[in-house]
Chain A
Amino acid sequence: MPLLDIRNLSIEFDSPHGRIKAVDRVNLSINPGEIRGLVGESGSGKSLVAKAIMGILNDRWYVSADRLRYNGVDLLSLSAKERRKLMGREIAMVFQEPSSSLDPNDTVGHQLHESLPMDECDVSFFKRRKWREERIKAFLHKVGIRDHKRVMKSYPHELSEGICQKVMIAMTIAYKPRLLIADEPTTVIEAGAQDQIFKLFKKLNQLNEVSILLITHDLEHVESWTKTITVMYCGQTVESGYTKQIFKQPYHPYTMALLQSMPHFNAQLSRKSQLTALSGSVPSLQHLPIGCRLGPRCPRAQKLCVEIPKMEKVRGHYFSCHFPLTEQEGKKS
């Protein structure tokens, strides 16, 4: 049974032009111990999906779904109090821009103190301080911070983004969550530290069997770190399946375009030649096209594309397109 099972999740909000579907019937499932990548450009609603899973969207957003189950429990029917219990303990989230999600007024050590699960503490009142310090030290070492003394004493602005991100991860794993949602964990981090963060996720996944939903805007990042990917465009699921399969043979023109925009994916491409690119840009939420939202930018679009295509399945590989790429076309590039 999948750990997280989402079927037809829609997220809407009211605007002066009527109700707008920012996320339109997205399907997603994560098995225990799996790392799934969720890839999409900015404004494709991937962060919204993450927040909907956590239950931290505010009242302006209307979340509806045929199924939104975590470990067999329907999240949408839970009360706010019950949901809060899951939040942080079972499902944890690492936010974008770690240095701005940490409290700038407080030392990192103090913030780590606050985030420890005190119900696990079984020592007497007088030994608690020591116990906490030991735990924090252990967590910091676990995420690969060696000089824990300096880090605990410093304020978030004194540390680099990479270290801040590691501190955030240390906070989330203190409760030993079963599902970790990482929302663009590496976008603001320099290249060298990115690799460390991904390695850390991989280690958590293997040692503690944490399932991870890795949200990113860049396909390059997920290629070597994830087992399965879901690609989103403008709030619609475009394609999902095993990473290897998708990289070898994409069915959807959008995935194909993303892959082709990575120069190293295309080996025959000579240096300084023109890359294949989709024309136009991502539409804004106020001017979404009807039907398949890739429609106006898609090189294969036809009259039929004004209807939303159904999800199709080929060997465990889902895609939604009326005119998918055939096997030869997909392989040729």
Chain B
Amino acid sequence: MNTLLEVNNLTKSYRIGYRWLIPQYQRALGPVSFKLEEQQTLSVVGNAGSGKTTLARILVGAEQRTSGQILLEGEQLEVRNRQQRCSLIRMIFQDANTSLNPRMRIGNLLEEPLKFATDMPSKDREKEVYNKLRQVGLLPEHAHFYPHMISGGQKQRIAVARALMLDPHIIVADEALSVLDMSVRSQVINLLLKLQNEMGLSYIFVSHNINVVRHVSDQVMVLDQGKVIEFGDAEQVFNHPENDYTRKLLYNLGH
């Protein structure tokens, strides 16, 4: 197994104000270090305000880190170079209902990343859109629909398809499953697991549903107030939690 993503001492601080004209910072995250291998899933769990969303946003480049290193396949990711990472690390957002543009057809929505990041001719782009729609279990006809015409589960599939458009290596899912209904949620979990097997994707799951996390992940990172409290193999962490906070988290979530 070769390492796909390596993160060293990543931190993020926000400026919270001035005191005697000296800027004051509050550390929201870090230092965080981990390694993610191919076809592996890392889950990040923690309470609200623990910095798990911040971590996800830094990894996809939606936010800038304060310090630290991110290595993707041995290559450094620069702080400001978004073009470089936006094709290899993609994100699935929390709520598919609101993250899909209601005024665009699904075909156009999916085509957009290709337009921005590649110089494919339009014929190829169309073909690629159809391919990806099939891959997530929808039909090519769905490309002509508007987002409001399909159901919630299908919308989440579209969100997955959009993340897949540029053939990424890593997909970051920020609470992507928690808004789905129960019977649809297992469909999407199945889809994600299937895609992982077929395409060798790695996932970074940000979630608070421990039962789902336990099922899908290989490694688990527990965050509390921006600090890594526990990190290790999923079964190890869940069966023998070493930290009180982790134990409480597990207990709170129905164990």
B: number of interface residues (CB 8 Å): 32
Instruction: Please give, as numbers and ranges, the residues of chain A lying within 8 Å of B186 by CB-CB distance.
Output: 260-261, 275-277
Interface with A: B1-9, B122-130, B246-254, which one?
B246-254
Give chain A nearest CB distance to B245 CB in angstroms: 10
A274 — nearest CB in chain B belongs to which residue? B190
Give chain B nearest CB distance to A225 CB in angstroms: 10
Interface 0/1 of A167-204, CB less than 8 Å to B: 00000000000000000000000111011000000000
B57 lies within 8 A of chain A by Cβ: no
User: CB < 8 Å: which of A160, A190, A262 contacts B208?
Assistant: A190
CB pair A277–B216 under 8 Å, yes or no, is no
Most buried by B among A224, A271, A276: A271
CB pair A281–B152 under 8 Å, yes or no, is yes
User: Chain A contact residues: over half helix, strand or loop, or mixed?
Assistant: loop
Instruction: Please give, as numbers and ranges, the residues of chain A lying within 8 Å of B255 by CB-CB distance.
Output: 264
Interface with B: A114-122, A142-150, A215-223, A325-333, which one?
A215-223
A206 lies within 8 A of chain B by Cβ: no
Instruction: Please give, as numbers and ranges, the residues of chain B lying within 8 Å of A42 by CB-CB distance.
Output: 152, 181
A86 lies within 8 A of chain B by Cβ: no
Interface 0/1 of A41-67, CB less than 8 Å to B: 110000000000000000000000000
State A297–B215 Cα separation when bound (angstroms): 25
User: CB < 8 Å: which of A223, A254, A271 contacts B215?
Assistant: A271
User: CB < 8 Å: which of B41, B154, B215, B254 contacts A281?
Assistant: B154
Interface 0/1 of A270-286, CB less than 8 Å to B: 01111111110110100
A224 — nearest CB in chain B belongs to which residue? B254
CB pair B252–A195 under 8 Å, yes or no, is yes
Interface 0/1 of B113-152, CB less than 8 Å to A: 0000000000000000000000000000000000000011
Interface 0/1 of A74-99, CB less than 8 Å to B: 00000000000000000000000000
A-facing residues in B198-255 (Cβ within 8 Å) = 208, 211-212, 214-216, 234-235, 249, 252-255
A138 lies within 8 A of chain B by Cβ: no
A275 — nearest CB in chain B belongs to which residue? B186
Give chain A nearest CB distance to B250 CB in angstroms: 10
CB pair A263–B253 under 8 Å, yes or no, is no
User: CB < 8 Å: which of B181, B183, B215 contacts A263?
Assistant: B215
Known: A272-B193, A272-B215, A277-B186. A41 touches B181 (CB 8 A): yes
CB pair B183–A257 under 8 Å, yes or no, is yes
CB pair A258–B182 under 8 Å, yes or no, is yes
CB pair B183–A220 under 8 Å, yes or no, is no
State A297–B183 Cα separation when bound (angstroms): 11
CB pair B211–A264 under 8 Å, yes or no, is yes
B107 lies within 8 A of chain A by Cβ: no
CB pair A274–B194 under 8 Å, yes or no, is yes
State A278–B188 Cα separation when bound (angstroms): 11
Q: Nearest 7 pairs between A and B by C-beta?
A: A263-B215, A261-B186, A277-B186, A41-B181, A190-B48, A281-B151, A275-B186
What is the interface of chain A, defined by CB distance below 8 A to chain B? 41-42, 160, 190-192, 194-195, 217-221, 223-224, 254, 257-258, 260-264, 269, 271-279, 281-282, 284, 297
A to B CB contacts below 8 Å, 6 in the list: A191-B253, A192-B252, A263-B211, A264-B255, A281-B151, A281-B153
